[in-house]
A and B are shown apart, each in its own frame.
Chain A
Amino acid sequence: MRDDRLKYLFVLPAVAVVFATAVWPLAESLRLSFTVGRLNRPGFPQGYLGLENYLWAFFEEPAFWNSVRVTALYTFATVSLTTLIALGLALLLAPGGRLRGGVQTLLILPFAMSPALIGVSFRFMFNPEFGLFDAFFGFLLPPLAEVSWLADPALAFSVCVMADVWGWIPFLTLVLIGGLAAVPRETLEAAAVDGASGWRVFKDITLPQLVPVLGVVVILKSVFSLKTFDQVYMLTNGGPGTATQTLSHYVYFNGLKYGQLGYSAAVAWLMVVPMIALTWLYARYVFRGSRPDS
């Protein structure tokens, strides 16, 4: 067998697996999104609806727009907070020191926890009657002692953000430490010799060279924040009211709890649009240095 055919044969199993687990379900969900697709009625998926599921989301469902708003706010808050805190921690840990190895190992622990477990833990810790964080914040700031964190829409949202930021900081910190290690030491030393302050060194030398890594970090985190489900499901289940209902949560409830698989497939496909944009950006950042012509 010729070499150019053999190489396709070798990748065929992998392509088949990707097709069966990603391409086919995606195509099937796209088909479903144009049907009635009610699980709780006979004759699933019942019939062709055209664009009605999409139009229903856009023009008839305030809950859809609420989940879009919640997801956008959640993504903005978690991405910016996680990136900023992780950058600060990375700058502190990058120079090294005796404790760095131990600290880095400790840092990975929150990231190793499943989001569902983080959600349950935060729910317990913010329990108004016996929650550890609830008591801690009440002790630090007495006016907060009477606050029911998970009962107030804004505070419940902030607890969701807090839990996500806590879980993601370690991973992003480690990535950024790697990015900082790639900044040439000579440029930093030259700036210091020229009398540049620490802030100037960071602003004019470190940050510009860290931008590609920061770009990847922000895009990656945005993708994960956009599809947040398990943590919110366990922590607030979208409440109070619909204050923390993300798009993924909305899709899950409509598809599996209300049995409207056609409609939830349509909303899921609407989520695909920003995902594709972010994936395209991510691919550009990651692979731009590996093109044969570059």
Chain B
Amino acid sequence: MRRDGISMSRYPEAFARSAQFENETLGFPLRAHPQLLFYRKDLIPSPPRTWDELVTLGKELKQSNPEISPLALYFNNDGNRQNLFIWLNFLWAAGADIFNPDWTAAWTSEEGLQATADYIALHTVHEVTNPNSLAFVEQDARQSFMQGNSAMIPVWWWAYSGFYNPDTSTLSKEQVGFTGMPSYRGRTKTYAISMPFSISSHSRNQDAAWEFLKWLSNPDLDKKNAVEREVKGEPIVNNVVTHITSLTDPEVNAANDGIQTAAWDSLKESGIMPQIPEWPEVGDILSAAIADAAAGGNVRELMLAAAERSDRILRRAGRIK
């Protein structure tokens, strides 16, 4: 990378971190996603900027449009920990975290428990979510939005083109708007995800692989992929870019209704999930606790029980000394 003048600073910090482990760069984030709030422009003239505003708006929407649910959320634990995606916004914005520096559970701090309770309350107390959100995984929630059954959805930016694609959605482009994720307690911190590409240490052609990876990840191709609307006569739509230069490029933004500007804003304070081998197990425990809480369980008891199991697992794995 040094020889070829490539720096990870070309990516937003959360994207770069997702391709690094213990400060060592292991690959490039070739496809990566920030979270945005998508909403129905024909129903919501001014999108909410905070979760409190969203609750107020949701209650108004239920009165004015009772046939449409205000918010499509996804509380079901499907094995991919999707129901943690929005929870992390609440948790981090409250100043809490998943783990303490010694790898014990940190979500049991008072701030963390309150943030979790407020996230669950969207469904159980304020009832501004789609009633089927307990059964929804992310795909179901997107379907609900595209079929006109829900008015808002917080989800990855790549979903944008699908929301107005006449083959998959009942909505037109004029009906679909997007904005940054709502803030919680005056702060916005979103979750970002990426798909890094690396070179295997077993590769027999590492130099060739490096040349290919350089070409595949170069900023010009990143921009071209988001601006082109036709390849060999076939129409294409893609708004996903990973380079800061593409996110802030006027031409890229003009071709994509300015979604990159909203994304860049979302990524300015953004985090990733923990990078330890035990995370899938702990994450699934948390995911099941969130699903049970949304189904009416006691938030505090469930999160404390999840913490106890997490600590036990990480102790057994030798992570907690």
Contact = CB atoms under 8 A, between A and B. Distances in A.
Interface of A: 38, 40-41, 56, 60, 62-63, 127-130, 146, 148-153, 237-242, 253-254, 257-260
B135 A150 contact: yes
Contacts of A146: 131
B280 A241 contact: no
Interface stretch (B8-16, B103-111, B141-149, B213-221): B141-149
A257 B149 contact: no
A20 B228 CA distance: 54
B235 interface: no
Contacts of A238: 77, 79
Nearest to B295: A240
B295 A129 contact: no
Contact of B135 (A130, A148, A260): A148
B134 A151 contact: yes
Contact of A240 (B77, B284, B309): B77
A41 B132 contact: no
B262 interface: no
Interface in B283-321: 284, 288-289, 291-292, 295, 309, 312, 316-317
Given A149-B135, A239-B288, A129 B140 contact: yes
A258 B140 contact: no
B292 A241 contact: yes
Contact of B284 (A40, A151, A253, A260): A253
B291 A240 contact: yes
Contacts of B309: 62-63
Contact of A258 (B75, B144, B280, B312): B280
Interface in B149-172: 149
Given A127-B140, A258-B280, A239 B76 contact: yes
Contacts of A60: 312, 316
Contacts of B143: 129-130
A237 B131 contact: no
Given A238-B79, A257-B281, 16 more contacts: A38-B277, A127-B135, A128-B131, A129-B143, A130-B143, A148-B132, A151-B135, A151-B295, A152-B295, A239-B288, A239-B291, A240-B134, A241-B289, A241-B295, A254-B281, A257-B284
A291 B75 CA distance: 57
A150 B76 contact: yes
Q: Summarize A's interface: helix, strand, loop or mixed.
A: loop
A239 B77 contact: yes
A253 B287 CA distance: 14
A151 B130 CA distance: 12
Given A148-B134, A240-B295, A56 B316 contact: yes
B319 to A, nearest CB: 11
B78 interface: yes
B278 interface: yes
Contacts of A129: 132, 140, 143-144, 147, 149
A128 B143 CA distance: 11
A93 to B, nearest CB: 37
A130 B132 contact: no
9 nearest interchain CB pairs?
Answer: A151-B134, A151-B135, A128-B132, A40-B277, A148-B135, A241-B292, A258-B281, A237-B79, A150-B135
23 contacts: A62-B309, A127-B135, A128-B131, A128-B136, A148-B132, A150-B135, A151-B134, A151-B135, A151-B295, A152-B134, A153-B295, A237-B78, A237-B79, A238-B77, A238-B79, A239-B78, A240-B76, A241-B289, A241-B295, A242-B288, A253-B284, A257-B280, A260-B281
Contacts of A253: 79, 284
A150 B135 CA distance: 6
A134 B284 CA distance: 28
Contacts of B288: 239, 241-242
B131 A130 contact: no
A60 B315 CA distance: 12
A147 B149 CA distance: 16
Nearest to A60: B312
A60 B309 CA distance: 9
A273 B23 CA distance: 47
Interface in B56-84: 75-79
A239 B77 CA distance: 6
- A56, A60, A237, A258: most-surrounded residue (chain B CB, <10 A): A258
A202 to B, nearest CB: 42
A266 to B, nearest CB: 13
B73 to A, nearest CB: 12
A259 B135 contact: no
B77 A241 contact: yes
Nearest to A239: B77
Contacts of A153: 295
A74 B134 CA distance: 22
Given A148-B135, A150-B135, A41 B277 contact: yes
Contacts of B284: 253, 257
Contacts of B136: 128
Contact of A241 (B131, B135, B291): B291
Contacts of B78: 237, 239
A41 B281 CA distance: 15
A130 B147 contact: yes
Contacts of B77: 237-241
Given A129-B144, A129-B147, A148-B132, A259 B277 contact: yes
B306 to A, nearest CB: 11
A257 B284 CA distance: 10
Contacts of B149: 129
Contacts of A41: 277
